[in-house]
Structure 1
Amino acid sequence: MITRKLSIALFAGLLASPFLAGTAHAAPASLAAYPIGNTAALTKSPLYTSGGLPRSSCPERAVTPGSVASAKSYVTPLFTCLNESWAAQLKKARIPFSKPRLQFISRPQRACGQKWPTHAQGIYCPSYRRIVVLLDKHLTRQAEDLFLMDVIAHEYGHHVQNISGIERGFDRLRHRSKTEYDEQLRRLELQAECFAGAFIGSVWDSLDRTADDWDFLLDATRESGDENNKVRDHGKGRNIANWLSRGYKAAGPAACNTWVAGSAMVA
C-alpha cells in the first residue's frame, strides 16, 4: 500500500502538461522585455474582467480507491461541470467556447503524437484540444483526496488558456535564456492551477467536503513543487499552493493573472 508520504511526493507529477508548451524563439534584448512585456493576450485577457465563475452544483460521485472504472465514473460528470462552467464564463468574456476531448489511458503510451512524459498524470494537447488522463494506480488510489478533481480541473485550465488566446500569446513570447523561458512556462502552469482553484471554489458548496479536505490538498501541493524535481517548470510548492488558493478564494479568473505577478510569486 502506498503511504501518505509517498502519495504526496507522487503528487509532484500530477499536474504536468508538457505538450502545452509551444516554441518560443530567442530575440535580441531590445526586442524582449523581461519577462513578459506588454503582451495583451497574456496580461489583459478579457477573462480577468469577466467576474466570478457561476456558482453551480457539481456533486462528486463516490470513488473506490484503485478502481479505474470508478475513477472514470467520477471524472465524466466532473468534465460536464467544467464544460458548463467555463462555457458560461467565456460567454461573459465574449470568447467563443468549444469543448475539449477527453481520453483515458491506463498505462503510459504515446499521446497526441508524442511519448508520454515521465511522472505525468494528465496532459493537454492544444492542437488536438484534448485532455489525456493516466488513470494508473498512483492516481486512482488517491482519487478520494481531491487529487483527481484538481488534475482534471488543471488540465481543463490549459484548455481555457488555449481557446482564450493565452496559450497562443505564450507561444509567441521571446526569451533570452532558459531561465527566462522557464519563468514564462511557470506562469502558464501556475495560471492553469489558479483556474483549477477557481472552478473548485465555484462548486465547493455542492461538494460533500470539509475544510480538512481542502487543507490536505493545499498541504500536499506545498510538497509537490519543483524542489522535488530537476526541472523548473511548475513552480515551488508554496507558489503552486498560493495560486491554487487564490483561485479558490476568488472563484473566478480575476485572481489568476500570473503574467503581471512579481517573479518571486512564480519562482
Structure 2
Amino acid sequence: MRKHSVVLLLVVIASLLLGGTANAAQVGFPIRNADILTKNALYASGRLPATPCPEPAVQAGNVASARNYLTTLVKCLNGTWAAQFAKARMPFSKPRVTFITKPQKICGGKWGKNVQAIYCNASRRIVVMLDSAVVDDPSDLFLMDVIAHEYGHHVQNIAGMWRAFDRLPSNGKAEYYEQSRRHELQGECLAGAFIASVWTSLHRTGADWKTLLGDDRESGDETGDVRDHGKGANIANWLDRGFKAAGPAACNTWIAGSAMVA
C-alpha cells in the first residue's frame, strides 16, 4: 500500500539513511524458517534490464491524462519484470489494474485515510486513486513511485513472498508491525529498482530524484498512528537502495537490521 501525505516532518533522523547494511547482524525480530523471504531466487537474478519507458505528458487536473500515464508505466513494468522473472526462471503473470476517483470498498475493506493506491493480493489487482492530491500537481515522480511500489507488491506475490509473509508467526503487535514494515519497505525498494531501469529514458534530473526522496521522508509512520510502513527516512533509504542497485538484490529487507526497518 502506498501512502501520500503533505505533512512536513520537522526532524529527519539522518543516521537511519546511513545505518548499516542489509546484512546487519542485530535484528529486533529475526525472520526464521522462511527461505522464500530471505533467500528468494529473485535476489540472485541480477540487475533489471535497462529499457526505454518515455513518460507521457500529464495535464494538471486531468484524470484521463494521469490514467494514460499510469497505463503506459504498467506496460513498462510488465515488460521489465517479465524479463527479470525469466532470468530467475520463475513463472510470471501480469496484475490487473483499476483506477478510481473517490474512496470505495476495495479488497473487502474500506479505503484507508491518505492511501493513494493498494494491491489486492488475492485477486492480483492494483487499485490507484486518481484524486486531486496527485492529479492537480503531477509534475514530480510521485505517480511513478505509486504504481512501481504497488507493482512491487505484485512481484512479492508471484515470487511467493507475500504468502510467506502472511504465514509468518508473530508474538504480539510489535513483531507483527516490524514484519509489515519489512514487507512495505521491500515494495518501495523494488520500485526504486524499476525506476533506475528506465531512468535514462525519462529525461529527469537529479533534482527530480531528490524531490521524490524528500516526498518519501514526509510519508512515513510519523504522519499516522500505526507503525506498519516505516519511518520516512527508512522509506527513502530503501527506495534509494533499490535505485542505486537497479535490481532486487538490494531489496532483501527480511535480513535487515531492526534500525533499517523501524
- Please give the TM-score of this superposition, normalised by the length of structure 2: 0.89
Aligned to 2:16: none
Answering whether residue 133 of structure 2 is matched by residue 138 of structure 1, we say yes
Equivalent position of 2:234 in the other structure: 239
- Aligned match of 1:216: 211
Q: Which runs of 5+ in 2 are unaligned?
A: 10-27
How much does 1:9 deviate?
Answer: 2.5
Question: Per-residue deviation at 1:181?
Answer: 0.3
Q: How large is the RMSD of aligned CA atoms in angstroms?
A: 1.6
The residue identity in structure 2 corresponding to 1:56 is: T
2:39 is the counterpart of 1:44: yes
Structure having the higher helix fraction is 1
Distance between the aligned counterparts of 1:7 and 1:178, measured in 2? 24
The superposition leaves residues 213-255 of structure 1 with CA deviations (integer Å, 9 ceiling, x where unpaired) of 0001111211211111111011001100000000000110000
CA displacement 1:163-220 (0-9 Å, x = unmatched): 0000011011000010000000000000000000000001000002111000011112
Q: 2:7 aligns to what?
A: 9
1:136-156 deviation line (CA, Å, top 9, x unaligned): 000212322100000000000
After TM superposition, what 4+ stretches of structure 1 lie above 4 angstroms from structure 2? none
Distance in 2 (CA, whole Å) between partners of 1:218 and 1:34 is 27
Contact 1:48 1:253 in 2 (8 A): yes
User: Which SS does the other structure have where 1:56 is aligned?
Assistant: coil
**Code of the aligned partner of 1:9:** V
Corresponding position of 2:220: 225
State how far apart, in whole Å, the 1-side matches of 2:191 and 2:220 are: 16
Provide the residue aligned with 1:75 in structure 2: 70
**Residues in 1 aligned to 2:70 and 2:126: alpha-carbon distance in whole angstroms:** 12
Alignment partner, residue 104 of structure 2: 109
Residue 101 and residue 235 in structure 1: after superposition, are their counterparts in 2 closer, same or farther (change >3 A)?
A: same
Specify which of 45, 50, 55 is matched with residue 55 of structure 1.
50
Counterpart amino acid of residue 224 in structure 1 = S
2:56 is paired with a residue whose SS is coil
Stretch moving more, 147-156 or 220-229: 220-229
Whether the 8 Å contact between 2:8 and 2:218 is mirrored in structure 1 is no
Amino acid at match of 1:46: A
The question of whether the paired residues in 1 share the 8 Å contact of 2:177 and 2:227 is answered with yes
Q: How much does 1:10 deviate?
A: 8.9
Q: Does 1:173 align with 2:168?
A: yes
Q: Distance in 1 between matches of 2:116 and 2:183?
A: 18
Deviation at 1:7, TM superposition (A): 6.3
Deviation at 1:62, TM superposition (A): 0.8
* Consecutive unaligned residues in structure 1, runs of 5 or more: 1-5, 12-32
Change (3 A) 1:10 1:113: farther
2:116 touches 2:128 (CA, 8 Å); kept in 1?
Answer: yes
Greater RCO, 1 or 2 (C-alpha within 8 Å, sep 6+): 2
C-alpha separation in 1, matches of 2:137 and 2:73: 16
**What per-residue deviation string (whole Å, max 9, x for no partner) do you get for residues 40-71 of structure 1?**
01000001000000000000011111210110
Distance in 2, matches of 1:160 and 1:143, equals: 25
Q: Is the 8 A contact 1:35 1:183 kept in 2?
A: no
Listed as ranges, the matches of 1:121-200 within 5 Å are: 121-200=116-195
Partner of 1:96: 91
What TM-score do the two structures reach when normalised by structure 1?
0.87
- What letter corresponds to residue 168 of structure 2 in structure 1? L
The letter for the 1-side match of 2:137 is Q
Deviates most, 34-43 or 202-211? 34-43
CA distance in 2, matches of 1:64, 1:174: 46
- Mapped contact 1:123–1:132 kept (Cα < 8 A): yes
In the alignment, the residues of structure 1 paired with residue 105 and residue 73 of structure 2 have an alpha-carbon distance, to the nearest angstrom, of 25
CA contact (8 A) 2:121 2:154 kept: yes
Instruction: Provide the identity percentage.
Output: 64
Q: Paired residues, what number?
A: 241
Q: Answer yes or no: is the 8 Å Cα contact 1:142–1:148 preserved in 2.
A: no
**CA distance in 2 between partners of 1:246 and 1:57 (Å):** 21
